[in-house]
Structure 1
């Protein structure tokens, strides 16, 4: 447990009311700026750039586009660029150079309808494979794009039955620790979670968490698989230790071990609400912030077990799950906090948006004492 003197605190630093609905907020790496993307009342797309200017948030750039935006990432951008990838309500994946946003530098009809989620990786890390963007859509498709190859996705995972396709709500790239390995997580509205191996284009692992999966994230994308979090409907958080994969399916009803061999645990939030997502602290992969439908954010720390793996009766290695500790929490809005992002440059600094049409910048203190 954390003693009282070193207990982190969540502090709201700035907030700004807007006239647009924001669906995603992302820090621009290497700057004191963040981008907010969403939709105007007339259903057109909004890209706004804000800068921390003393006690105020200063709007330094605003661009309107034809289609409203649902999600965004800088994950596949090169270090010297400010190229933002966006997914639209019309199914388009586009990459915008914020220095010259008149036209996209990449534009593809990625899905038949809404792109619910995007994640990018490879742009800012050397020696960890090509820059790629993953998309998940309402059409149930999950696709991976290399912006240097605009004609078609480099990988695609289609539903077996298009008539019964499940809505893909979340995607996350990870296990990208060298030039060959990379995995993709996808979460669906029926509670399915699938892990695709992008080296072999096969399903490496799958499970069902019984509630729609609103958010997924590896604790670090550029290391060998360690653990990941799934944020769900009905106040559910699921944490999986992905270091060890048991070769045999878990026994039916074993909530501790999930299925297909990853040890997992479930955290039930005290108040019944949707958990919209979980964001790991860039400077400490064992700490993450969950943001939820009741307007609250909650900081958690994962504690590893004494042994991370044991052998079963057949001598096969199986993982051992740890425990979650809730460090602190804070209500920020009367509406769902639908987007959250940590600053990659300043530990504890975050930006979030909520459906009250407000963006907020906050700070979590004493993270260096954890």
Structure 2
């Protein structure tokens, strides 16, 4: 019998979340972001589940794009960080990829290249995130230069990234938005601005294209949920089983360092899941878990291959009882990965992308 820890991937939920992103912005197109192996869900199965819905996909690197092409995915693929060296332009051309440019050397390389067909190109603006992109005062000159390079460039767009679209204090978002609106109007440029939080909460950011990412996988990126984000469905359910039960007297410790001590006569379930699987070692006592579809919590430090949960108030919990670390239980109860992340002092992105390869992914849904 195999170890019971699996990551169940609900491709119907993925499609639901993509269609929600699309429906929130009916005048925009939505590029589905599949970087980091589709946020830990498996880029190839997720791309196949979305290829009849999404007019374009996005990844971080040429390696991620080539992986999709070699799997037979023909949908346009945007390189969010562009090329990392000039030689990659040959692969961009061969595989019909779309290109982001954010640095002078990338533009020089592109304009010196002779592609078989002009390359759809998105010019990245640093509107305030201060990671990648050109200073706004350089954008018009670069836009005109790219626009005139018809042998190399086609379908030119402006692109930027918001730093605070998820925030309850969105003043900085409005500052970035105003800057991009001014540039777009001055140049007559189509835009791609909205990430997941802006797609969910800021219709004024919806452009020719939007870039939903983490919302596709059912995580709510907003500091305060709204009606749209509450409609998201979890795509990954990390599930396991209890492999042992310990009966403890009041005061008995559990796990390394004895951090948790039984406050009463207690039953503790040992679960096949640990930080060697990618579950966050920083999870504190009280981090929520579902056992037999009922809420309980972690009791004691997470170990490499196991963690322990308090099942004192779940009398039917026993060896073999199903455990949901995040996602949807068989009885329909949902444990939000965002809630788990807060107890781990991290974000859902870290938890999802941190699930390690030894955890089998099990796909279901009508595109599996």
Which has the larger Rg?
2
Decide which structure has greater helix share: 2
Decide which structure has greater strand share: 1
TM-score by length of 2: 0.29
TM-score by length of 1: 0.29
Where relative contact order (Cα < 8 A, 6+ residues apart) is larger, the structure is: 2
